[in-house]
Amino acid sequence: MTQTWVVDSNCFIHLGSMAPDSFVRDIGKILPSEGMYVTPGVHDEVRNVRFQRWKKQPNLLVSLKPLLTTISVDDSQIRGLAAQIGERASPQDVDLSLMVLASKLAKEGKEVTLVTDDFKMTTTSQKVNLGFSTCPPSTFIQRLAQIGPKQAKSGLNSLSRRVRAAEMRYAISRAGEYDIQAKLTWMVDSLLDTKGDAKKVISTTPEQTSNQKSIRALRKYLLGGDVKKTYLSSLGILTTVCEPIRELDVFLSSISEKQSVSDVMEIYNSGIEEMSQVLESIGLGLAPLDEASAEIAHRAMAGHVYRMESALGILSKMTGNLNLAKLHLARALQSATLIDDRGAEMGAMYQLGLLAVVGQKWERAATLFETADRQAQSIKEDRLQYVVCAGIMNHLSDNHEKADSYINIANQIIEQDKTKSTMILANLGNNLLAIDEAGLAIEVLDEAMECAIEVDDMETMQSLAESMVLANSALTEKESQQNESLRHYIDGLNNLDKSSSEAFDKQISDIEKQAEELAKPLDDTWDDWQPASKLLPNNSPLTVVRVEVNTEGQSLVISNHLELGMIGFWLPDGEFSISPGHQLFVGNSRVKVASAPENLRKEHSIRALVAVESPEEITFSAQLDI
């Protein structure tokens, strides 16, 4: 298992005063992809630290930025840990935040070491069994030297000795204030264990090595790659037993070619049937084999299962069956962990987070988005959408300190690349709109519009304007009441200059006027059956915003038309596979159009109610994004 490092401020201070100019290059070749974990408090404490031995003495945080993963920690967790270990015995808040972070990472299954020369953090972590180990900065540097390339060893070992001398001098200088014997013993023990620990991090048993090679070989074979005959021979019957898993990718390929579909439930049912047959066939083949062979097979096939479960989860969400979607996406996440695919885990976390938003489980959603953000950082992927979502969810959970830390991070990301941020925020806004979170969508789309104006992206501005009109029309009375607090919070995402602010205000004013016009009752209504083309020229589609089912089983489908605004369709009791985001086509049926009652008009902003003479003529189409 790869070692995970959480590093405190004192270590960076030591590095700033002693590290040579080769240090960042050397450890960049040694550290795992996520580098060193820190909390925002560490940034505050070492903001002005510079590399003293380097030419021009560059800022330490700027130089180390590619190697740092910064994770915010909930203030309530810090207070909880302080209470748990006793207020008088607790370290400073930044140290506590690092201990909370290290414990959280350990609970995720990582092997975590907290790098600190504060012995109190070691004793308190042991006291409450937080699940991570500790070592002083000198030992951390020496462990990197042990596992690093030859050319880095000499420089890192020399740095380790200088840092250790400073640690010892400091400990001895405090001899009159406390008993330093225990701390010195801990420092010496960590030094003596260095060689063994370094080996432990990178060593595996011959059996583990053999299994890993077999898993990689079988995975490559199932993906259609060329595998050496020696590996194929060692896999034996497993290649034949696992062969059916390829059929899942064939199925996914066939549906991904379709830009839109009229019956999502039919595709979902076909997927379930396909997966059942494939897993049953593989299960029968694996049943007589031993446990080791089964483990190799399951890990090799995990990527295929992840992709299929993810697709089934998205299809379930498109049909409106959110509980089933959660189940499939949770299974997808489990499969992703078997292949250690952090990108896959990140995607599953994000989708599960959106489902938690639908259920208004703000704290649960915050946890999922925060985890997705950590995964994004570890693989150097765009993290803006996860940071924004984590911030919003913490804000809605009244966890304002943590929410503010996320909005600050998001602001920094946006400032670095407004063009890319425009697309990410626009996509996030449309995702929120697709799950009927118009209030959240409007605020995110607002920020996307600000960025689009700043980079003068006219095409995106037009697309955003259409989405924002739809979001304004879809806004419920309850969401309107929530908007003020959200607007004030999300406004911190982007900072506009005066000229851009004026252009933005004009755009928003035009959008609001258009939305206001589309909120007025329709001028023309009729109580006799008329061709649908009288209401919808050329059978133009409407976008489903939400579906309400009354006690009699009738469905009120709230839909939006770009020119007509919000229209409500009454559908009789029956099986209709509908969810937000679907396109609704009335077909050749005749319709009646009536004014909407005041309560429905106020609640859903609908301009009219439509009755359909032949409901069987209605069709729904969904854009596939699998």
> pLDDT over 90 for what percent of the chain?
31
Q: Is the pLDDT of residue 297 over 90?
A: yes
* 527 Rama class: left (phi>0) / alpha (psi -120 to 50) / beta: alpha
The pLDDT value given to residue 210: 66
Q: What is the pLDDT of residues 99-151, one digit of tens each?
A: 999 988 888 778 899 999 887 787 777 767 788 888 899 999 988 988 888 88
The pLDDT value given to residue 203: 42
> For residue 32, which of 139, 197, 148, 196 has the smallest C-alpha distance?
148
Q: Is the pLDDT of residue 1 over 80?
A: no
In CATH terms, the fold of domain 417-517 is: 1.25.40
Residue 537 neighbours by CB distance under 10 Å: 9
Residue 465 neighbours by CB distance under 10 Å: 18
More confident position, 611 or 319: 611
| Residue range(s) occupied by CATH 1.25.40 in the chain | 417-517
Task: Tell me the average pLDDT across 215-225.
Answer: 91
Q: Is the pLDDT of residue 381 over 60?
A: yes
The answer to which of 83-97, 251-265, 358-372 has the lowest mean pLDDT is 83-97
The pLDDT value given to residue 575: 59
In CATH terms, the fold of domain 526-623 is: OB fold (Dihydrolipoamide Acetyltransferase, E2P) (2.40.50)
Q: What is the pLDDT of residues 342-361, one digit of tens each?
A: 788 888 889 999 989 988 89
Distances (CA, A) of 474 to 244, 392, 425, 479, 595: 45, 20, 19, 10, 18
Instruction: List residues bridging with 593 in a β-sheet.
Output: 526, 610
| Residue range(s) occupied by CATH 2.40.50 in the chain | 526-623
Q: Is the pLDDT of residue 281 over 90?
A: yes
Q: Is the pLDDT of residue 436 over 70?
A: yes
More confident position, 578 or 363: 363
Q: Which residues contact 84 (CB under 8 A, 6 or more apart)?
A: 128
Distance CA 350, CA 371 (A): 9
Q: Is the pLDDT of residue 16 over 80?
A: yes
Q: Is the pLDDT of residue 219 over 70?
A: yes
| Residue range(s) occupied by CATH 3.40.50.1010 in the chain | 3-202
Distance CA 548, CA 567 (A): 13
Which pTM does this prediction carry?
A: 0.69
Task: Tell me the average pLDDT across 303-316.
Answer: 91
> For residue 489, which of 368, 385, 391, 367 has the smallest C-alpha distance?
391
> For residue 232, which of 250, 249, 216 has the smallest C-alpha distance?
216
The pLDDT value given to residue 428: 94
Quote the CATH superfamily of domain 3-202: 5'-nuclease (3.40.50.1010)
The pLDDT value given to residue 198: 38
Give the mean pLDDT of the chain. Answer: 84
pLDDT band at 196; cut points 50, 70, 90: very low
Pairing relation of β-strands 68-70 and 36-38? parallel
Contact 114, 99 (CB under 8 A): yes
Instruction: List residues bridging with 583 in a β-sheet.
Output: 543, 621
Distance CA 561, CA 154 (A): 69
